[in-house]
Amino acid sequence: LFASISNAWLSGQWDIHQMSHPLPTTLITLALALKIGLAPLHTWMPEVLQGLDLTTGLVLSTWQKLAPFCLLLQVQPANATLLLVLGITSTLVGGWGGLNQTQLRKILAYSSIAHLGWMILVLQFSPSLTFLTLLVYFIMTFSLFISFKISNATNINTLATSWAKAPALTAIIPLILLSLGGLPPLTGFLPKWLILQELTKQDLAPLATVAALSALL
């Protein structure tokens, strides 16, 4: 709200396509980054997701990302570096954060932060690629949350003992997790591969290398 009001004050325009002044554009980008939980504005996300049940967590991880992303696609930030910094920080924080967790929802929150980082990295170069990544991420997260809901698992120990209850489901869950991690030949690898290719085309090979290494975590 503050960003759009200051934009109207500075440029006399309320239209989102007319955001030419760098200050409100940067402000609105940061506000949307906070809304979807990009690092370094991510601290609320793991805690909130941990406190929710699986169905509400699913809504927060998927549906809640659509509106901010639509706005981010329309606001072309005056400062291109801002999105790259937000993106690379998110991939690193998402990778590191999930390492010492035993709670599934917290791991998924950090996974969400990392995936959003990948999307933001390529947003200004190829919006269609961002959309593809978002779609693949939605499908994988949806499958995972539904699987956890069926097996009633909220931490890793419950997941380990769910073999007796639902063997078929327990066999599928590691595959979805590996896909979410971006392991070839699973679906989750496709967007990452295309994003790395796009970043290299844009002469951002060092950034692509850091992003690829963060995905290993």
Residue 21 has what pLDDT? 86
pLDDT in tens, 21-78: 888 999 999 999 999 999 999 999 999 999 999 999 999 999 999 999 999 988 877 6
pLDDT score at 205: 94
**Number of other CB atoms surrounding residue 62 within 10 Å:** 17
Q: What is the pLDDT of residues 85-119, one digit of tens each?
A: 999 999 999 999 988 888 999 999 999 999 999 99
pLDDT at 184 over 70: yes
- Tell me how many domains the chain contains: 1
Q: For residues 169 and 197, what is the distance between their CA atoms, to the nearest angstrom? A: 34
Contact 19, 9 (CB under 8 A): no
- Expressed as residue numbers, the domain containing 25 is 1-216
Alpha helix locations (H) across 152-188? 156-160, 167-181
Q: What is the pTM of this model?
A: 0.93
Average pLDDT over the chain reads 91
Q: What percent of the chain has pLDDT over 90?
A: 71
Q: What is the CA radius of gyration of the chain?
A: 18
Give the residue carrying structure tokens 């924080």.
93
- What pLDDT does 78 receive? 64
